[in-house]
Amino acid sequence: MKSIIMTIVFTALFVTSCSAKTTKEEPVSDTKNVENKVKTIHLTKAQFLKKVANYETNPTEWKYLGDKPALVDFYADWCGPCKVVAPILEELANEYDGEIYIYKIDTEQEQELASFFGIRSIPSLLFIPINGQPQMVAGAMPKANLKDAIETVLLKNKTVENNL
């Protein structure tokens, strides 16, 4: 009986020391670097009204308030496809840094925004060019398709200008 108890104690100590060692060896700087690389911008309703469109003062006409095209991701933390799209959007935010904004709106926290845009499935992506009407796409998209949409919907005027 004594040997069984000793085995259990040593096993518990071994498991505990291994898990503690793993957490100690994680470099703190890597965690900070990941946080610094985040380029997507989480918006509340109040921020949306100031940065994107104030639908409360002008509910019948779309007027984009930003100075660069934007992509708005309507998501929820529990949504599997949203979790697949999130790192892709981070990559695109880094690739298109300075050219477009990539905003994220949590539909659980900002239900009024989700309702205003008629979000029925997530992820839903709202592409907002500087001029013209926004376009909504429901569902997860692969990175290549997102890049194509960014180039053709959001940056189409820039592409035309560069070719002239």
Q: Please state, in angstroms and as integers, the Cα–Cα distance from residue 45 to each residue in 11, 112, 113, 116, 128, following that order.
A: 52, 8, 7, 11, 17
pTM: 0.73
Give me the active site residues, please: 79, 82
* pLDDT in single tens digits along all 164 residues of the chain: 444 444 343 333 333 333 333 333 334 444 444 444 568 999 999 999 999 999 999 888 889 999 999 999 999 999 999 999 999 999 999 999 999 999 999 999 999 999 999 999 999 999 999 988 999 999 999 999 999 999 999 998 654 444 43
Q: Long-range CB contacts (< 8 A, 24+ apart) of 41-46?
A: 41/101, 41/102, 41/103, 41/104, 42/103, 42/104, 42/105, 42/106, 43/72, 43/103, 43/104, 43/105, 43/110, 44/109, 44/110, 45/110, 45/112, 45/113
Query: Which structure tokens are listed for 90?
Result: 């981070």
